[in-house]
Chain A
């Protein structure tokens, strides 16, 4: 079932909403949770935020129908809810958004590549450690890269990170570039 159709049925009232809740939940709950958790929210934070997102969707379904893309509307809600949460807990400033070119979640300082990290004996272990540091420092970029690995199209990623397709391509390119310092030091381990 398309999201638009789900929104129409949600809008028809709470009684018919029970079946449509199951539909919506089956399609989107895991996607939304995965997205929030990949942004390095704690499990409790992600679950609370998920409830708020569901409430917004069920309360404002009619508004969603006014958008050309219901998916874009849904992910705007998710994006804004996450931004609101990060502002509330002080992880980004008042006017910043996640998936920002200014690296709102990342802070100003990008750590130098860690060399000689204990335990980085193989390429896999080294990259693992680098990726982990990258995801902790730049969760929004790691999330976007993961979406790309999950097979999402640029259009779909653009909907989820609330940017234009062109800006999304640029964001992904920048994300790859910013990943480099975290894993460059693993290069000599190729072949181990």
Chain B
């Protein structure tokens, strides 16, 4: 390095090599430790997946078979997984729609109750009621009727709520719209021409054109 014929050149070269020999030896000595630290750091930084390919080679036959089976099953079942996902989504949508419908019915029932509470005088109640069952029932018959209505309505996704009931105490005061022995029930919504809905309408003496509404029914007993 100090010239082609310079006798110092070989000595310099030897010295430089000697100087760095310990460096090279040390690098070789700690080879595995440095590598694993680098690997861990890259995994921690999210730049490397936390799975060593050598794991696969070292894994027992049974483990490798199981992994392969898992991979095969996953690829084999991909369409099934997709269909299952669609079914789950469809159920989700149906559940959501059902929930929306329930909320709507509850909202209509509240509105019906609120409307009735604002009315004064019997005529107003009758005017807002879609049906009047004025056959003279006994109290227990009225309960049976309401139960019968509930049983018919429930499978149809309809709600039945006793929105107002007069008693001997409040007949003339707090609930002026109802006389003693009268109950108002709200039923709905009527959303189809299902034969069972027709049966319900007949039972409650509701008109045919009650589509899409909650009906308030006066039961007198």
Task: Point out the residues of chain A lying under 8 angstroms from B41, CB to CB.
Answer: 51, 54-55
Please determine whether B42 and A21 come into contact, CB atoms closer than 8 angstroms. Answer: yes
Q: Mark B128-149, 1 if CB is under 8 A from A, else 0.
A: 0000000000000000000000
Please determine whether A179 and B27 come into contact, CB atoms closer than 8 angstroms. Answer: no
Please determine whether A29 and B11 come into contact, CB atoms closer than 8 angstroms. Answer: no
Given A14-B49, A18-B53, A132-B19: A124 and B11 within 8 A (CB)? yes
Asked if A183 lies at the interface with its beta carbon under 8 angstroms from chain B, I say: yes
Please determine whether A187 and B8 come into contact, CB atoms closer than 8 angstroms. Answer: yes
Please determine whether A19 and B19 come into contact, CB atoms closer than 8 angstroms. Answer: no
Please determine whether A142 and B16 come into contact, CB atoms closer than 8 angstroms. Answer: yes
Please determine whether B7 and A51 come into contact, CB atoms closer than 8 angstroms. Answer: no
Closest to A26 in B: B35
Please determine whether B8 and A186 come into contact, CB atoms closer than 8 angstroms. Answer: yes
Q: Say which size band chain B's interface belongs to.
A: 20 to 34
Determine which residue in A43, A131, A183, A190 has the highest number of CB atoms from chain B within 10 A of its CB, and name it: A131
Closest to A17 in B: B48
User: How many whole Å from B131's CB to the nearest CB in chain A?
Assistant: 68
Stretch binding the partner chain, chosen from A31-39, A71-79, A87-95: A31-39
User: How many whole Å from B2's CB to the nearest CB in chain A?
Assistant: 6
Please determine whether B37 and A47 come into contact, CB atoms closer than 8 angstroms. Answer: yes
- What separation, in Å, do the CA atoms of A59 and B42 have in the docked complex? 9
Determine which residue in B16, B24, B47, B52 has the highest number of CB atoms from chain A within 10 A of its CB, and name it: B16
Given A38-B20, A149-B17: A43 and B49 within 8 A (CB)? no
Task: Point out the residues of chain A lying under 8 angstroms from B17, CB to CB.
Answer: 149
Please determine whether B38 and A183 come into contact, CB atoms closer than 8 angstroms. Answer: no
Please determine whether B14 and A34 come into contact, CB atoms closer than 8 angstroms. Answer: no
Q: Say which size band chain A's interface belongs to.
A: 35 or more
Please determine whether B42 and A34 come into contact, CB atoms closer than 8 angstroms. Answer: no
Asked if B202 lies at the interface with its beta carbon under 8 angstroms from chain A, I say: no
Please determine whether B48 and A29 come into contact, CB atoms closer than 8 angstroms. Answer: no
Please determine whether B12 and A37 come into contact, CB atoms closer than 8 angstroms. Answer: no
Task: Point out the residues of chain B lying under 8 angstroms from A59, CB to CB.
Answer: 45, 47
Asked if A22 lies at the interface with its beta carbon under 8 angstroms from chain B, I say: yes
User: How many whole Å from A7's CB to the nearest CB in chain B?
Assistant: 13
User: How many whole Å from B26's CB to the nearest CB in chain A?
Assistant: 7
Closest to B33 in A: A47
Given A25-B35, A30-B27, A142-B16: A58 and B7 within 8 A (CB)? no
Q: Which chain B residues numbered 159 to 196 have a C-beta less than 8 Å away from chain A?
A: none
Please determine whether B26 and A43 come into contact, CB atoms closer than 8 angstroms. Answer: yes
Asked if B34 lies at the interface with its beta carbon under 8 angstroms from chain A, I say: yes
Asked if B39 lies at the interface with its beta carbon under 8 angstroms from chain A, I say: yes
Asked if A176 lies at the interface with its beta carbon under 8 angstroms from chain B, I say: yes
Asked if B18 lies at the interface with its beta carbon under 8 angstroms from chain A, I say: yes
Q: Mark A155-181, 1 if CB is under 8 A from B, else 0.
A: 000000000000000000000100110
Name the contact of B15 in the complex, choosing from A14, A38, A128 (C-beta under 8 A).
A128
- What separation, in Å, do the CA atoms of A71 and B68 have in the docked complex? 38
Query: What are 7 A-B pairs at a CB distance below 8 A?
Result: A30-B27, A38-B23, A47-B37, A127-B15, A131-B15, A132-B19, A148-B1
With A127-B8, A145-B1 already in contact, 20 other A-B pairs whose C-beta atoms are closer than 8 Å = A14-B47, A14-B48, A14-B49, A17-B49, A19-B53, A33-B27, A38-B20, A43-B26, A59-B47, A127-B11, A127-B14, A127-B15, A128-B18, A135-B16, A142-B19, A149-B16, A176-B2, A179-B12, A186-B11, A187-B8
Top 8 closest A-B pairs, CB basis?
A131-B15, A58-B47, A127-B11, A127-B15, A15-B49, A37-B23, A128-B15, A14-B49
